[in-house]
Amino acid sequence: MQVAVSNQVPGILGDCGGSCSCATCHGYVAPNFRSRMPVAESYETDMLTCAMGVSEDSRLTCQVIVTPELDGLVVRLPTR
């Protein structure tokens, strides 16, 4: 989320500043990267219930810690 906001990526608002309380940073992580990041904690999955169009690829991008293992990560954004 912070990378997207800092680079003015449209569609990632990050209204709560990354405190996992708004779901305006919802994105879809490319399936081949899901196993390279920790699974979502319960507070993230709970907040995802507030997002639209949630799928198994959904993450709150503010909860994704960028590590070298995620080099090349692709995150698609919801259409709305």
Binding ligand FES (rule: CB under 6 A), the pick from 4, 29, 60, 75 is 60
Burial class (CB in 10 A: 0-12, 13-18, 19+), 38: exposed
- Work out whether 78 is an interface residue with ligand FES (CB under 6 A): no
Burial class (CB in 10 A: 0-12, 13-18, 19+), 13: middle
| Token couple for 1 | 């989320």
Least distance from C-beta 53 to ligand FES, angstroms? Answer: 15
Among the residue ranges 10-18, 29-37, 69-77, the one whose residues contact ligand FES (CB under 6 A)? 10-18
- Work out whether 11 is an interface residue with ligand FES (CB under 6 A): no
- Work out whether 75 is an interface residue with ligand FES (CB under 6 A): no
